[in-house]
Every structure is written in C-alpha cells, then in structure tokens.
Amino acid sequence: MSLFDISRDVSSATFGSFLCAYTGQPFDTVKIKQGTNPFAMTAQIVKQEGISALWKGVVPTGMGMVLENACAFAVNEQLKRFFKKGDNYNDDNKNPAPNQNSNPNTMMNLLQHKLVQPFFIGAISGFTSALVLIPSEVIKSRTQMETKQGVGSWDIFKKMIKTGGAKTMFTGLDAQFARDIPFYMVFFGSYDALVYSGKQLFPNTNQEVVYFMSGGFAGMFSWAVAMPFDVPKTMVQTKWGGRVWGDYTPMFSKILRERGVRGLYAGLGPTLVRAFPANAALFLGVEMSKNWFDQLFG
C-alpha cells in the first residue's frame, strides 16, 4: 500500500464519517433510549433536555466513526487492491463470473467472484474495525443514557477510567464482534453489488445519485441483518460494571427468553430511518472525496 493510497483512503473516510455522524446522530439517540414510539421519544427528549440533546455523544461518535471508517475503508480498499491483482477479479464492464482456469480451488474461485468477494472482504473489515470502534461505542452509549444536564463524553470517560480502569473501554468486545462482522459483510457487499447493478441498469444516471442511493440501501440492509446482535450489545455496553468478554451471550438469551424474537429488533424503526440518510451521506462523501483527491494529487 502506497502513501498515496493510505492518504486517499483515510481522507475520504474522514470526510464521509463526519457527514454520517451529524446526519445520523439524532436518530441514534432516539434508538438508544429504547422508546417504543420514536416520534414520541423525540418529542420527550427535546422537551426535557433541549434539541441539542439529540446530538448527545456526537463528538465521540464522530471521532469513533473517523477511526472506524478509516480502518474499515482502508482495509476494504487494500483487500480489493490485493484481489484485483489476481486473474479472477474483473473490471466493471466485464462479466462478473470468476475465471475458472485461474485457480483450481473452488473456494478461492468463489471468494474471488465479483459479487461474492465484497461480502468476504467486508467481514474482514468488520473484524478489524470492531477493535478500533469499541472505546468510542462504549462512551457514546453511556453518554446517551445519561440524563443529568452538563454531563458529557469527557465526564463519562473519566468516570469509566476511575471506576474500572482502561479495560472498561473494551466492555462487550464479544458483542462488538457479533454485530460488526455481519454488519460490514452486508454493508460493503451490498453497496458494491448495488453500485455495479446501478451502473449496468442505469448507465446514463449521474454517478453521485448511484452512490447516494446505493449507500442508503446498503445501510438499511446491513442494519436489518445486524439489528438482533446490536440490541443486546447496546444493553451490555451501557451497563456499568460489565465485562470485556462473556456478558453478550447471557444478555442475548435473556432478551430472547423474556421478549421473544421481537425484543431483538427493538428500535428497528428509527434505526432503518437513520440508516438511509446517514449511510447515503457516508458513501457519497467517501466517493466524492476520492474524486477530489485524485484530481488534486492524482
């Protein structure tokens, strides 16, 4: 990986991350409050805490997104470059079928298939980004659950370090893996598939429109898949005194036992409503930044 590639990947992910954070944070705040009616919960938050409360935790969210997406997009792009060197990778204008003569290994051929490969790469990206994201996720979750006026992310951080040490920053690591691996698998996989399909079906459509729509739907698809893993993750990470590893499976089982399958989808409505604009903004920002970077330094 060259310095140009690293700079391009990180700068584009940074710009897209801030667009995503400020677009999606109000929806995320409503979701984490666990309200059954997102509109009533929004009104309650604004009435009790003020409209700025909808952006509670946006600073660690933005910082976390920059770190997460810089890692996720950098890993994703580098793996794409690695596979692109192989014979089985095809350009957008070619048939997406794998080259059967290049590798006798059926599994490798499958993983290098034009429409399968992004899902495989996305899963790896999810594993790596989970390690980077988790500290900001824990701080954000606990900040959003704090109802006292004037208590911010820095106060929560100091309290966490004082009460449990640095390891509290990694509370629910198993939960983070359980959500992020399937999330990013679908996130990057469906985005690439949608962009490819959009360009093939609507060749005269503005590329920015294709990126925007593909990013929005990719966000919705990935959250629909990851939501059952996200609900117990949130409950584990908002709980003070939680462990780094081992609380996720009992929490998952408890929710399933007490609330049924529907309990694992609590907050799905506002999550999907948030997913489209936030991730549309993310991918549009990333793609636009890549183009600007290439024009300036390419």
Query: What confidence score (pLDDT) does residue 39 get?
Result: 66
Tokens of 158: 């100091």
Per-residue pLDDT band for 31 (boundaries 50, 70, 90) equals low
Q: Which pLDDT band holds residue 217 (cuts at 50, 70, 90)?
A: very high
Q: Is 171 helix (H, G, I), strand (E, B) or coil?
A: coil
Q: Give the pLDDT band (50/70/90) at residue 100.
A: very low
Q: Which residue, chain included where needed, has tokens 């705040």?
A: 29
108 pLDDT higher than 60: no
Q: Sign of the CA dihedral 197, 265, 72, 20? A: positive
pLDDT at 119 (0 to 100): 92
Banded model confidence at residue 143, pLDDT cuts 50, 70, 90: confident
Choose among 20, 12, 2: nearest CA to 294.
12
Percentage of residues of the chain with pLDDT beyond 90: 39
State the Cα–Cα distance between residues 112 and 92, nearest whole angstrom: 14
**Residue 194 identity:** L
pLDDT-based confidence at 59, cuts 50/70/90?
A: low
User: Whole-model pTM?
Assistant: 0.78
- The mean per-residue pLDDT over the stretch 259-268 comes to 88
